[in-house]
Amino acid sequence: MFLHLGGHLAWYDPQKRSRLEIQLRAPIALIDLLDQLGVPSAEIAVAAINGNLVSLDDARVANDDRIDLYPPVGGGMFQTQTV
């Protein structure tokens, strides 16, 4: 299977790679795979398998899958001004 760790999620790979190829012995729950890889599920805002959005709690992955994971995105500050 191919795993893409978007944004800062590559920090959790020991080699800081954003794209990994992983061979699984059998299909596995995505949440269990993340645990084995040391990627905190709380850091995942968007997960997709083969281009389809999935829930981390329900998704299962196999060797022929492509998984894309992305953290929450934020930035900047919004200020209001009273006139």
Domain boundaries, the chain: 2-70
Q: For residue 24, what pLDDT is reported?
A: 95
pLDDT tens by residue, 59-68: 999 999 999 9
Global pTM reads 0.83
The tokens 């191919």 sit on which residue? Answer: 2
pLDDT tens by residue, 42-83: 999 999 999 999 999 999 999 999 999 999 976 555 555 555
Strands 28-29 and 60-61: antiparallel
φ, ψ (nearest 5 deg) of residue 8: -80, 0
Please provide the CATH number assigned to the domain covering 2-70: 3.10.20.30
